[in-house]
Amino acid sequence: MTLQGKRVLITGASGDLGRAMAYRFLELGADLALQYRSNAAALEPVLEAAKEAGREAVAVAADLARPDGSEVLAAAVREHWAELDGLVNNAGGARAQAFDEIPPDAWEQALRLNLTAPFRLTQLFLPALKACAGSVVNISSVAALTGGAFGPSYAASKAGLIGLTRSAARDLGPHGVRVNALAPGPVESAMTSSLAGPVLDSIIGTTALRRLVDAREIADAAAFLIAAGTAVTGQTLIVDGGRHFS
C-alpha cells in the first residue's frame, strides 16, 4: 500500500487519531494539510517528521464548529493545492450528556462539527477531488450503530455521517470520486480516557478482543480507503475490536 505523492487533508489533525493518521500517511509517502482548531503545538512534531521525510505538510487553523469554518479551511488549502487526492473528515466530538440534559445549542454544535462540516468540505473540495479521482473518508463511530457513552447528539450526528457517505458515494461515483466511512471504537485516546473508569471497563468488556483499538489501526484502515486502485465506495468499515457485528 502506498500514498506516494498523494495530497491529503486531515481535519481534527491535532487529536490522537488525527496525529496517528498523519504519521502513517507520511510513512506511506503522502503530502499533508492538517486542520486544527487551537492546539498548534500538538502538530509541531508532525511537521518536523514531514520535513525529515522530505514531504510537504502545512497546518491550517480553522474552527469547523463555526458556520464559516469550512470555507476558511478550504480557502487556506487552495492556496497550496489546486487538486486533492484525499479528504479525511476526522474532526468531531460532543459532550457526554444525558438525553434530557442536552441544550439546543449543544445539539446544533455537534451537528455542525460532526455532520455539516464534512458535507460542506466535500462540496467545497469537489472540483479538486474530481480533478484526480480522489477519495473521501468520513470518520464516523461505532456509536452511530449502537448509541453509546458519548450521548445522543454524538451518536445521531455520526449516524448521519454514514447516510451522507452512502449518498455522496452514489452521486460522486460517476466522477471517479470514492466516499467511504470508518466507524472506530473504542479507540485509546484522550476522548475515551475522559470516561469514568466503570464506564470504560464496561465498554472494553463488550468487545471481542477485550481491549481498546489502537489509533494506528484506524490510521491503517484510513490509508487503505485513501489509496488508489480499489473499487470500495459507499461502505462503512467498522474497526472496533469486535464491539458491534453488522
Taking each helix axis from N to C end, the angle separating 117-124 and 152-172, rounded to the nearest 10 degrees, works out to: 20
Picking from 148, 183, 151, 143, the residue whose alpha carbon sits closest to that of residue 166 is: 183
What sign does the dihedral 229-14-140-77 (CA atoms) show? negative
Picking from 176, 161, 64, the residue whose alpha carbon sits closest to that of residue 128 is: 176
Picking from 110, 209, 210, 203, the residue whose alpha carbon sits closest to that of residue 161 is: 110
What count of residues does the chain have? 246
Strand-pairing partners, residue 7, are 31
**Per annotation, catalytic residue among 25, 36, 125, 154:** 154
Centroid of chain to Cα 24: 14
Q: Are 186 and 240 in contact (CB under 8 A)?
A: yes
- What is the arrangement of strands in the sheet containing 236-239, beginning at the earlier edge strand? 57-61, 31-36, 7-10, 86-89, 135-139, 178-184, 236-239
Instruction: Please tell me the distance from the alpha carbon of residue 199 to that of residue 203, in angstroms, as a whole number.
Output: 6
Instruction: Please tell me the distance from the alpha carbon of residue 203 to that of residue 148, in angstroms, as a whole number.
Output: 9
Report whether the peptide linkage leading into residue 45 is cis, meaning its omega lies within 30 degrees of zero. no
Known active-site residue 36: no
Tell me the catalytic residues: 154
